[in-house]
Structure 1
């Protein structure tokens, strides 16, 4: 049985590894649907057709028009990585003007197992709203891989944030999906 993974990425340097991550997820049995923030889509503009061919699904970064059919199968799990400072805060606050944040916010209400690995520098990670947002996401049942459990923030002002532990993110979403970990407060059918 193939499981569907929504892989959502913000515009942070690890997004440039997304083709390899998709291949790794597929090797683990996932049917991957790739969603990007608008800036991440801009950064990967020259690769979008290839990424769509790799996944077998259109790469999405904007909402569909009302009445248009869904082009992706329903998600069995959601991995939001790299998730920037802006995306983490928007998700926690329910600010859904961007497609990936809106779908991620809705996933919480649907009880879809979710994991996020933020990618923010040390200065942004010290902002008081960031820790509050991580706490909100954890409270909603999202597994947050940050600090010792995931990505360790580096110093501000660098375009190379250091190694991004993609394998840890894929391992975490695999465990949650296999265990049937659902978000709290969601009635199961």
Structure 2
């Protein structure tokens, strides 16, 4: 049996600072993990990128590859977008693919790659009318969006607790997609 491949794709929200712990947990669960980051998340983790590449055994990606460059990751069994910021959720739902993470998952919908998204947004952002529309758009496209009582529940602005981000729910949902 081959090792399932998890694309862990994070955007710039405070829980991304804990991504090394999540990678280790996923690896103990049997995943081969490839880490992709939005450009801002990559900047936040710049000093850790070499160690994260060593931990996963794959280059950390935050940019599109050039057409002449080979793929450096094995094919995904499932992709998890977490933490998914307000910007990432809306760009994805609207098909705005100006960075690698959103470009990959937008195309993955059409390729039939299982997708899990777990937002990380505060309660002020979710009051913007586009956010709920974007969540519904992604769900209607077959994306498992962990938002609400059974997923991420927004905090009030300035009251976030990145250490309490429910990463375990994203990994459980990823596992469920390949168990079916």
The alignment's TM-score, normalised by the length of structure 2, stands at 0.97
After TM superposition, what 4+ stretches of structure 1 lie above 2 angstroms from structure 2?
A: 157-162
Cα distance change, pair 44–165 in 1 and its aligned pair in 2 (3 A): same
Q: Identify the residue that residue 11 of structure 1 maps to in structure 2.
A: 12
For residues 124-175 of structure 1, the C-alpha deviation after alignment (integer angstroms, 9 at most, x for no partner) is 0111100000000000000110121111100113464561001111001100
CA distance in 2, matches of 1:9, 1:177: 20
Q: Identify the residue that residue 90 of structure 1 maps to in structure 2.
A: 91
Contact 2:147 2:153 in 1 (8 A): yes
Q: Identify the residue that residue 3 of structure 2 maps to in structure 1.
A: 2
Q: Identify the residue that residue 109 of structure 1 maps to in structure 2.
A: 110
Q: Identify the residue that residue 182 of structure 1 maps to in structure 2.
A: none
Aligned partner of residue 72 in structure 1, secondary structure: coil
C-alpha RMSD over aligned residues: 1.1
Cα distance change, pair 161–17 in 1 and its aligned pair in 2 (3 A): closer
For residues 24-55 of structure 1, the C-alpha deviation after alignment (integer angstroms, 9 at most, x for no partner) is 11111111000000000000001000000000
CA distance in 1, matches of 2:11, 2:147: 16
Q: Identify the residue that residue 130 of structure 1 maps to in structure 2.
A: 131
